[in-house]
Amino acid sequence: MRGDLAWPRHAYRQRITDIDIQPRRCEPGDEAALALVGKATFLETFAGVLGGNEIVGHCATAHTIELYRTWLADPFHAAWLVEASPGEAPVGYMVIAPPQLPLPDTSGDLELKRIYVLSRFQGGGIGKRLIAAAVAHCASVRARRLLLGVYADNHSAIGFYERAGFRKLGSRRFNVGGKDYDDDIMGMPLDA
């Protein structure tokens, strides 16, 4: 057992590159996997930014199996699960929904409500593939724009979204655990 824990980090990284990472459209029955990866990626992303109690409280209400079950049953929501093979373990996900952002006119728009991938699986192009799936979905339902909210101090995520074609449209306050945080609201036009 001790030998496994002492396994060299570079060997571990090498094995990760041998894993096939694929997104797939979710269906009813995927809600437990979505809730699990939602909690794990939120914790990983915001540990050290938000307090532990705030993270736990947020995940207890914002990443429930019931919420994801409701979204999967709603024709106005779409979700993708990112799985690692072999084994199909959930390592990321994306949710597209009707917009709930403080912008003057969001008619005909959709919101990229959640997009997260565990950090050890980032950097291999999965984010680009998820954005491509989101854009294709939006085109299939003739959405005007794809919108999103992103933590204003998450510079790497903002840079990723800018490279994908999103531009800042505004800002909002996001409350977690009774504390407000600044989000940038970004959008990508789709009608061009």
Structural domain contains residue 106: yes
Structural domain contains residue 177: no
Structural domain contains residue 11: no
The terminus-to-terminus CA distance of the chain in angstroms comes to 57
63 lies in which domain range?
Answer: 20-146
Structural domain contains residue 181: no
Give the pLDDT confidence of 33-80 residue by residue, as tens digits: 999 999 999 999 999 989 999 999 999 999 999 999 999 999 999 999
- E strand residue ranges, the chain: 20-25, 78-85, 89-97, 110-117, 145-151, 167-176, 179-189
Give the pLDDT confidence of 105-156 residue by residue, as tens digits: 999 999 999 999 999 999 889 999 999 999 999 999 999 999 999 999 999 9
∠ CA(48), CA(79), CA(66), 5° rounding? Answer: 75
d(CA 76, CA 113): 12
Indicate the pTM of the whole model. Answer: 0.87
Q: Give the model's pLDDT for residue 12.
A: 44
Section 71-95 average pLDDT: 95
Structural domain contains residue 99: yes
25 DSSP β-pair partners:
80
Beta pairing class for 145-151 and 110-117: parallel
If one compares 17 and 154, the residue with the highest pLDDT of the two is 154
d(CA 153, CA 156): 9
Task: Name the band, by pLDDT with cuts 50, 70 and 90, for residue 18.
Answer: low
Contact 58, 42 (CB under 8 A): yes
Whether residue 7 is predicted with pLDDT greater than 80 in this model: the reply is no
Section 7-30 average pLDDT: 71
Please tell me the total count of domains within the chain: 1
What the block records as the tokens of 14 is: 């090498």
Q: Give the model's pLDDT for residue 86.
A: 86
d(CA 151, CA 158): 8
Structural domain contains residue 109: yes
Give the pLDDT confidence of 168-181 residue by residue, as tens digits: 999 999 888 888 99
Which position has the token pair 């106005």? 76
| Main-chain dihedrals φ then ψ at residue 20, nearest 5 degrees | -85, 125
Section 2-19 average pLDDT: 50
Q: What is the CATH number of the domain that holds 130?
A: 3.40.630.30
Structural domain contains residue 14: no
10 burial class (0-12, 13-18, 19+ CB within 10 angstroms)?
A: exposed
Section 6-23 average pLDDT: 59
Structural domain contains residue 127: yes
